[in-house]
Amino acid sequence: MRFVFKRSYDADIKLFKHRPQALWYLALFIFVLALPWLVDEFFLGEATNVLIWAIAGMGLMLLVGHAGQASLGHAAFMAVGCYTNIIMIERGVPFLISFPLSGIIAGFVGVLVALPVLRLHGIYLAIATLAVSVLSDDFIVILEPWTGGVTGLVAPNIDIFGLEIDRYGTPVEFYFLTLLVTLAVLVGYRNLLRAPLGRAFTALRDSEISAQAMGVNIRRTKAIAFGISCGVTGLAGGLLGYYATAFNNETFNLVLSIQLLLMIVIGGLGSIHGAFFGAIVIGFLPQFIAITRDGISGVLGLGSVTIPGIESGVFAVILISFILFEPLGIYGRWIKIRTYFELFPFYRKNMFKRQKSFLKTERMR
Amino acid sequence: MSLLTLENVTLKFGGLVAVNNVSFHVGEGEVFSLVGPNGAGKSTVFNLISRFYDPFEGDIRFQGDSILKMRSDQVPSLGIARTFQNIELFEQSTVLQNLLVGRHRHRKSNLVSEIFFAPSVRDEERRHRAVVEEVIDFLELQAFRDKYIAGLPYGVRKVVELARALATEPKILLLDEPASGLSVEETQDMIFWVEDIKKQMGITVLMVEHDMSLVAAASDRVLALADGKELAIGTAAEVQSHPAVIEAYLGTGGRASDE
Ligand SMILES: Nc1ncnc2c1ncn2[C@@H]1O[C@H](COP(=O)(O)OP(=O)(O)OP(=O)(O)O)[C@@H](O)[C@H]1O
Ligand SMILES: [Mg+2]
């Protein structure tokens, strides 16, 4: 059993709750720093992929998990980040400017898109943002002179003061670049959550009416949530462009939007951890499915058969199982396991009996 | 001096006149109660002051200035805080986080300084926390500080809502049925708290309450409403014995004393 004694208000303000926790994160940090020397190039590429998912996941988590606003359109903002970055690069803007700027542009586009739909809630908001995802495809095709239309664009090597970074040529550098962006987003996100704005987001999620009665400007706070969320997702989009090396209107389709949402639900809504857990699942699932498939056909002597649609099928099964059996996601399960050991032997089964209802509609009185 | 003034305020929901030409003023340092049978329009008066609804007619003034030009999220910045009849807390947050949201109107930091958690933000956080801790001590919520609302019993939630309103450091506190659903002991606590809020903190209280023991014990003046109309105004005893009030309660099948 562990007791945490708090001796000052800073105990609740600090980034880490207590020393053991800080040590765990330090160990994790050292692990991710050492990863390039621990695994081969293929796996490092997969780890980079997971980090990109995690960045996008953090972006969406802020909006859905913390501010309580649904979005089925986030692939569109990944597209904005990706395309604006490469378009600027092609016109001679250095990466160190174009990359952050592409995030900011994606954020502004997010605010613009959000403004007309701010009054919508839950499923209606989801449908409106779904439309954004569908429309983005057409927009990319229409804007052919810049976006290359259906042919798409090819991402050139990243150039930071002469340091060339290329996903295949220099996977280690690309991994560290992605890691750096991940950490920057992570720290900013954590900071927001312990500051007034982060609390305003969760207030919005839990009760708009009393958030308002506490002086939270609903429209503005929602717009800011959309802006930050889309901006961060745009950064992930920029990195995804380099990761995929070539992309077109199909890269950022509706399926990607849905996968993003699945990721944070599976990971656990309402926590940054959830974005990372979800990213690990989504990032490794295709490999996992491929390996199991090969294993099964190997055992049955079927040769290498491919079953079309198997990936989406497995996704669907996983998602439905999570919603039915673990609505708090992987992070929720983790908390339960941890609490079990921390409180051993005093854990009670109904300790976590509190329902989560993020997409509830507005109530009055 | 009058802190809050309603002047000939009328509000209609379709054909239903929920608030019918109501005028009253709440003086500084006073505990003013609104009573009346169900559907009298008491909560609607609160929602009007919170600017959730625009009055059909009339004016609402705070410290002499009309608040009808303000949005509902600007009202708290004047120093008007409220609780809700059906408890509106942030369910998925802890008690501490709920009270800290109450500090939102005192926010000075901006988006950028918060993303970097600048030293100024940290200092602000400490100050907010100090105020919140005072409220926690006052309402004896220490044991619940880090508990999630979703797991708290009803009576505690009521107190947390009061605490969150106090954390805003208001000039006037609007309490919508603070004692409904509370046990006798909890109601007793509530009476003491309302008195302390008035006497020690110097906060004006406008309260809707059915429990006449609380109304009689705590209020300086009482206004009775029925069907959106004013019936009587005066001390608790005067209002309770007013023929129109007795009639209104009998008409809806309740009694003034126990409704
Ligand atoms: N948003 C709304 N739309 C339509 N009618 C409403 C609305 N809010 C309140 N009403 C109606 O206005 C009248 C006054 O309601 P209000 O909630 O103010 O009553 P109250 O005095 O608070 O009653 P109670 O003691 O039950 O809380 C009721 O008839 C109610 O049905
Ligand atoms: Mg009411």
Q: What is the pLDDT of residue A284?
A: 85
Q: What is the pLDDT of residue A361?
A: 36
Confidence check: pLDDT of A229 > 50: yes
Distance CA A235, CA B72 (A): 35
Q: What is the pLDDT of residue A306?
A: 63
Question: How confident is the prediction for chain B on average, in pLDDT?
Answer: 92
Domain locations in chain A as residue ranges: 17-254
Q: What is the pLDDT of residue A335?
A: 76
Those residues whose C-beta lies under 8 Å from the C-beta of residue B147, and which sit 6 or more positions away, are B94, B95
Q: How far is B89 from chain A (nearest CA, A)?
A: 7
Confidence check: pLDDT of A292 > 80: no
Mean pLDDT lowest among A1-10, A328-337, B4-13, B102-111: A1-10
Confidence check: pLDDT of A258 > 80: yes
Q: Ligand 1: which residues within 6 Å by Cβ?
A: A 364; B 13, 16, 18, 36, 38-44, 85
**Least distant ligand from the CA of B248:** 1
Residues of B in contact with A59 (CB under 8 A): none
How confident is the model over A120-139, as pLDDT tens digits? Answer: 887 888 888 888 888 998 89
Q: Which of A206, A235, A350 to mutate to test the interface with B (most CBs of B within 10 A)?
A: A206
Q: How far is A68 from chain B (nearest CA, A)?
A: 11
Residues of A in contact with B122 (CB under 8 A): 13
**Which ligand 1 atom is the nearest neighbour of the CA of B44?**
18
Q: Which residues of B112-142 are buried (b: 16+ CB within 10 A; e: fewer)?
A: ebbbebbeebbebbeebbebbbebbebbebe
Query: What's the CATH number for B1-79+170-259?
Result: 3.40.50.300
Q: What is the pLDDT of residue A359?
A: 36
Residue recorded with tokens 């004013």: B230
Mean pLDDT lowest among A324-338, B63-77, B235-249: A324-338
B226 CA → ligand 1 middle, Å: 11
Residue whose CA is at the smallest distance from ligand 1 atom 31? B39
Considering only CA atoms, give the Rg of chain A.
21
Q: Which residues of A326-356 are buried (b: 16+ CB within 10 A; e: fewer)?
A: eebbbbbbbbeeeeeeeeeeeeeeeeeeeeb
Distance CA A221, CA A242 (A): 32
**Least distant ligand from the CA of B227:** 1
Give residue B27's pLDDT band: very low, low, confident or very high (50, 70, 90).
very high
Question: In a 3-state reduction of DSSP, which class is residue A269?
Answer: coil
How confident is the model over B221-252, as pLDDT tens digits? Answer: 999 999 999 999 999 999 988 988 888 887 65
Confidence check: pLDDT of B79 > 50: yes
Residues of A in contact with B132 (CB under 8 A): none
- This prediction has a pTM of 0.89
Domain locations in chain B as residue ranges: 1-79+170-259, 93-168
Residue whose CA is at the smallest distance from ligand 1 atom 11? B18
How confident is the model over A340-357, as pLDDT tens digits? Answer: 776 666 666 655 554 443
How confident is the model over A56-74, as pLDDT tens digits? Answer: 999 999 999 999 998 999 9
